A and B are shown apart, each in its own frame.
Chain A
Amino acid sequence: KNQVEQSPQSLIILEGKNCTLQCNYTVSPFSNLRWYKQDTGRGPVSLTIMTFSENTKSNGRYTATLDADTKQSSLHITASQLSDSASYICVVSVRNYGGSQGNLIFGKGTKLSVKP
């Protein structure tokens, strides 16, 4: 069964500190992995996308890693800011093939709270 598991479920850190969010997946055949940021009461916004051959991708203070062998990804946030308080969602794409339209498997998200 295709699944995406995220940990921790929630996290509280102090402003200026770094943190790492985890995403483990059992998806096959794998196409790509995205991290989205969702502010409370808003729609998700894409942060990074990584394909099978990529193992690191950065977007400002956000750095995502992918280990396709162990089927794990992480999102590292450097020098956190109050505006980083949000839910972070890991989404894995099932590859299109043989006429299949492909599919997206969503994790439940990690809720990050950054405190002053």
Chain B
Amino acid sequence: DGGITQSPKYLFRKEGQNVTLSCEQNLNHDAMYWYRQDPGQGLRLIYYSQIVNDFQKGDIAEGYSVSREKKESFPLTVTSAQKNPTAFYLCASSSWSRTETQYFGPGTRLLVL
């Protein structure tokens, strides 16, 4: 798990509710990422940020939002617009570029009640 922490480990969402997943890193990395992992599928990029106060949409950004107010933190909000949010969410960081080695957090499993 290195220097990346994610919380909570499990999260339950009710219909119509927004929930926020936390991701913190102490690796002094500039770039941070959020991925979604579904059974039998490869990791899919939701959002990424290469610098504070800037972030870019990934392949499946609809229904998600992020912020990057601090270098160490990159929270992900799963909004009520995301109709199929049940998945394993992974946060990662790298020194500066997407193609550098990414270090992953332990993940958060989101379940819908």
Looking across the interface, which residue of chain B has its beta carbon closest to that of A102? B99
Is B105's beta carbon under 8 Å from chain A? Answer: yes
Instruction: Determine whether A106 belongs to the interface, using a CB cutoff of 8 Å to chain B.
Output: yes
Interface string of B31-44 (1 = CB under 8 A from A): 00000000011111
B contact face: mostly helix, strand, loop, or mixed: loop
Could you tell me the dominant secondary structure of chain A's interface residues? strand
A 19-38 binary contact with B (CB < 8 Å = 1; else 0): 00000000000011010000
User: Would A94 and B1 count as touching, CB distance under 8 A?
Assistant: no
Cα A89 to Cα B102 in complex, Å, equals 13
- B17 interface residue (CB < 8 Å to A): no
Q: Within the assembled complex, what's the spacing in Å between the Cα atoms of A107 and B98? A: 16
> Chain A: residues with CB nearer than 8 A to chain B?
4, 31-32, 34, 41-46, 49, 89, 93-96, 101-104, 106-109
